[in-house]
């Protein structure tokens, strides 16, 4: 089973599974395909995290987050002493040394089986021969066209001589195909070869900070998986430099003390308690979390302990909202885009991978001659020392820019394990809302017995301490809205939050549910392996997929 944000990419991964590839093989091939068919977030020029849980052996977590170049420093986002948002998010200084290529290679070395080049070939073909743009792909590119116009190579790659591409048009990316071909022969070309030369030429010509030494020094890092439990289910999650696992596990620990099932899915009480748990977890995030290489003292064992959760619960009033102290921490606004993919192979090996360029299309800057977009991930560093203010800047120390440091992330790839076997694989984009989106899917499955489809479709919520507001997707029933407001929650509404890709093993079925909240025609779950070997047609549509030994049961659930 492969669930990702794009049909062509999910199909690439499923084909790898059919050929006997491992879950990691499928994740790597899907990720390279997403770099072609989902350029908003799929990438070569960004970074991310890969959580793997082999059916036998220990789970692993690979951190291939972007890293600040040697020229970075805590005051780098200030111009003449004043914070400059454009410098922080839109300049070449915001580009971190990309980790995706080294990360996918390292994961493949450890748990891959098919040849490396086999995993890149579908992406090369999709880039060279092009693919037909869907409605949402054309709309996404069209929306960014004014931004793309600021950089000739980006405009050339993502338009037809400056005119918007339309649904049904073919997007051909020849330079990207050539880069992928070089990487299929020699992955280190990205850091030491022709691709590195093209990156460095652009950096020198345009005032970027990344040097050849920065590229050569890049290393993905194996990290200890962050572990928690929730109502007897084991939770495997992302450690620093992500805050995803800390926020998720801490919130789950707090919520374990309440009877959410009795409160009911989407009830004012359940939303109130989830918001209060998140409020507290996010306050701790801002105080303590950053790249562990620069923050050796993160009190993670305490933050994730059940005893600490009990202390936090004691501060939560059941009938009214707490108040976030505005002078303690504040947050910058979140921007799209990131993407997640979930894979489960026939042996029960699971992979949960989230990677990103930070903003949608990153810096919106194609490396001339190389055909891929640069990230603006260093925008995830705090603004500058002492710059915390009511307007939304943060200046806390753990996440200030420093040479060789990785900016704090919220990405939250998770794998849940029940009775020794994989139970759920999930993750989402959405910046700081990511742990909240993942929390919602976990509560849906564990507390409210939802299937994968319903857990993905459930109304999402988010609270991040400050700004002191409870964000909810549109569609909240009026009675729930009024009850939450009566408790003192300041509600804000968004059309949709995140884009979750969920696999669930339940009642003898493997369910895949892709998120179609953002775009009705995006997000695809593809069942492979066992479904292929069934005499019946494979159970696949663009939203759902099922794999089962008992196909009658599968079809009943599927046709619901
Ligand atoms: O690492 C992070 O948490 C952010 N750079 C992710 C950005 C993101 O998810 C935006 N997506 N919609």
Average pLDDT for consecutive 10-residue bins of the chain (560 residues)? Answer: 92 94 98 98 98 95 98 96 94 97 98 98 98 96 97 97 97 98 98 98 96 98 98 98 98 98 97 97 91 97 98 94 64 63 92 97 97 97 80 78 98 96 96 97 97 94 90 97 97 95 87 84 62 41 52 44
Q: Both 272 and 314 in a single domain?
A: yes
Q: Which residues contact 306 (CB under 8 A, 6 or more apart)?
A: 253, 256
Whole-number pLDDT of residue 507: 76
Residue 342: C-alpha distances to residues 28, 149, 218, 235, 513 (Å):
11, 34, 26, 15, 10
Give the residue from 501, 527, 551 where a domain finishes: 501
CA 436 to CA 460: how far, in whole Å? 8
Give the residue from 372, 399, 426 where a domain finishes: 399
- Closest residue (by CA) to atom 8 of ligand 1? 431
CA 386 to CA 388: how far, in whole Å? 6
Whole-number pLDDT of residue 328: 46
Q: Kindly state the tokens that stand for 87.
A: 């410098």
CA 356 to CA 39: how far, in whole Å? 10
- Is residue 175 within 8 Å of 157, Cβ to Cβ? yes
Q: Both 320 and 253 in a single domain?
A: yes
82: which DSSP letter?
E
C-alpha 185 – ligand 1 centre gap (Å) = 31
Ligand 1: which of 356, 377, 437 to mutate, judged by most atoms within 8 Å of the beta carbon? 356
Nearest ligand 1 atom to the CA of 411 is 3
* Range(s) of the domain holding residue 494: 224-333+411-501
- Closest residue (by CA) to atom 1 of ligand 1? 409
Q: Both 201 and 134 in a single domain?
A: yes
C-alpha 506 – ligand 1 centre gap (Å) = 30
Ligand 1: which of 95, 103, 431, 497 to mutate, judged by most atoms within 8 Å of the beta carbon? 431
Q: Dihedrals φ, ψ of 426, to 5°? A: -155, 165
- Is residue 326 within 8 Å of 390, Cβ to Cβ? yes
Whole-number pLDDT of residue 519: 77
CA 518 to CA 461: how far, in whole Å? 15
Q: Dihedrals φ, ψ of 444, to 5°? A: -55, -45
- Closest residue (by CA) to atom 6 of ligand 1? 431
Q: Both 126 and 172 in a single domain?
A: yes
C-alpha 410 – ligand 1 centre gap (Å) = 7
Nearest ligand 1 atom to the CA of 334 is 10
The verdict on residue 520 lying in a domain is no
The verdict on residue 541 lying in a domain is no
Q: How many domains does the chain have?
A: 2
C-alpha 429 – ligand 1 centre gap (Å) = 6
Ligand 1 pocket (Cβ < 6 Å) reads: 335-338, 356, 358, 377, 380, 409-411, 429-431, 434
The verdict on residue 556 lying in a domain is no
The verdict on residue 457 lying in a domain is yes
The verdict on residue 11 lying in a domain is no
Taking every pair of Cα atoms in the chain, the longest distance, rounded to a whole number of angstroms, is: 70
Nearest ligand 1 atom to the CA of 379 is 5
Nearest ligand 1 atom to the CA of 377 is 5
> Tell me, what CATH number does 301's domain have?
1.10.246.130
Q: Both 200 and 79 in a single domain?
A: yes
Q: Both 92 and 206 in a single domain?
A: yes
Cβ atoms < 10 Å from Cβ of 364: 21
Q: Both 233 and 273 in a single domain?
A: yes
Q: Both 294 and 415 in a single domain?
A: yes
CA 354 to CA 389: how far, in whole Å? 30
For the chain, how are helix, strand and coil distributed in percent, rounded to 5?
40, 20, 45
Active site residue 332: no
In terms of phi and psi (left: phi > 0; alpha: psi -120 to 50; beta: otherwise), the region of 410 is alpha
The verdict on residue 205 lying in a domain is yes
The verdict on residue 525 lying in a domain is no
Q: Both 295 and 432 in a single domain?
A: yes
C-alpha 337 – ligand 1 centre gap (Å) = 6
Give the residue from 482, 501, 520 where a domain finishes: 501
C-alpha 556 – ligand 1 centre gap (Å) = 37
Check 22, 179, 338, 396 and give the catalytic one: 338
C-alpha 413 – ligand 1 centre gap (Å) = 12
Whole-number pLDDT of residue 446: 98
Cβ atoms < 10 Å from Cβ of 327: 10
The verdict on residue 143 lying in a domain is yes
Ligand 1: which of 66, 334, 428 to mutate, judged by most atoms within 8 Å of the beta carbon? 334
For residue 313, the SS3 value is helix
Ligand 1: which of 50, 65, 286, 338 to mutate, judged by most atoms within 8 Å of the beta carbon? 338
Q: Rounded to two decimals, what is the model's pTM?
A: 0.93
- Closest residue (by CA) to atom 2 of ligand 1? 409
Whole-number pLDDT of residue 391: 53
Q: Both 228 and 371 in a single domain?
A: no
Nearest ligand 1 atom to the CA of 432 is 3
C-alpha 409 – ligand 1 centre gap (Å) = 7
Query: Which residues make beta-bridge pairs with 242?
Result: 409
Q: Both 262 and 328 in a single domain?
A: yes
Q: Both 206 and 67 in a single domain?
A: yes
432: which DSSP letter?
G
């Amino acid at each position: 089973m492969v669930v990702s944000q794009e049909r062509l990419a999910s199909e690439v991964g499923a084909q790898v599974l059919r050929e006997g590839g491992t879950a990691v093989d499928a994740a790597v091939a899907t990720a390279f395909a997403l770099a072609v068919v989902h350029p908003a977030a799929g990438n070569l020029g960004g970074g991310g995290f890969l959580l793997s849980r082999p059916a036998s052996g220990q789970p692993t977590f690979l951190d291939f987050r972007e890293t600040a170049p040697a020229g970075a420093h805590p005051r780098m986002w200030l111009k003449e002493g004043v914070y400059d948002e454009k410098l922080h998010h839109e300049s070449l200084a915001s580009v971190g040394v990309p980790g995706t290529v080294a990360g996918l290679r390292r994961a493949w070395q450890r748990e891959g089986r098919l040849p490396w080049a086999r995993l890149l070939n579908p992406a090369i073909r999709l880039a060279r021969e092009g693919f037909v743009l869907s409605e949402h792909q054309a709309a996404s590119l069209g929306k960014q066209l004014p931004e793309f116009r600021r950089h000739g190579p980006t405009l050339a790659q993502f338009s037809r001589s400056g005119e918007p591409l339309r649904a049904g048009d073919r997007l051909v990316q020849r330079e990207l195909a050539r880069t992928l071909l070089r990487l299929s022969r020699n992955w280190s070309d990205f850091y030491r070869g022709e691709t590195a030369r093209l990156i460095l030429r652009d950096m020198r010509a345009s005032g970027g900070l990344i040097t050849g030494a920065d590229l050569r020094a890049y290393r993905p890092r194996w990290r200890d998986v962050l572990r928690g439990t929730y109502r007897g289910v084991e939770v495997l999650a992302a450690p620093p430099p992500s805050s995803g696992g800390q926020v998720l596990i801490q919130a789950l620990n707090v919520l374990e003390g309440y009877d959410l099932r009795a409160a009911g899915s989407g009830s004012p009480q359940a939303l109130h308690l989830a918001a209060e748990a998140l409020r507290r977890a996010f306050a701790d995030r801002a105080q303590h979390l950053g790249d562990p290489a620069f923050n050796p003292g993160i009190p993670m064992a305490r933050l994730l302990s059940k005893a600490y959760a009990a202390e936090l619960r004691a501060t939560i009033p059941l009938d009214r909202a707490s108040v976030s102290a505005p002078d303690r921490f504040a947050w910058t606004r979140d921007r799209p885009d990131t993407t997640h993919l979930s894979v489960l192979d026939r042996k029960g090996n699971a992979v949960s991978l989230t990677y990103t360029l930070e903003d949608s299309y990153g810096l919106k800057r194609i490396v001339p001659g190389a055909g891929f977009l640069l990230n603006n991930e260093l925008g995830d560093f705090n603004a500058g020392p002492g710059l915390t203010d009511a307007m939304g800047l943060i200046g806390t120390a753990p996440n200030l820019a420093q040479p060789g440091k990785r900016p704090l992330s919220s990405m939250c790839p998770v794998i849940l394990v029940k009775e020794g076997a994989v139970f759920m694989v999930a993750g989402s984009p959405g910046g700081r809302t990511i742990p909240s989106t993942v929390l919602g899917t976990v509560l849906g499955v564990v507390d409210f017995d939802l299937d994968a489809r319903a857990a993905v479709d459930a109304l999402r919520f988010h609270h991040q301490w400050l700004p002191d507001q409870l964000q909810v997707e549109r569609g909240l029933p009026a009675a729930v809205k009024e009850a939450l407001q009566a408790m003192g929650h300041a509600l804000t509404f968004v059309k949709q939050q995140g884009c979750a890709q969920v696999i669930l093993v339940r009642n003898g079925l493997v369910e895949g549910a892709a998120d179609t909240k953002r775009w009705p025609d995006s997000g695809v779950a593809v069942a492979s392996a066992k479904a292929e070997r069934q005499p019946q047609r494979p159970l696949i549509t663009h939203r759902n997929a099922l794999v089962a030994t008992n196909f009658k049961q599968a079809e009943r659930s599927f046709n619901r």
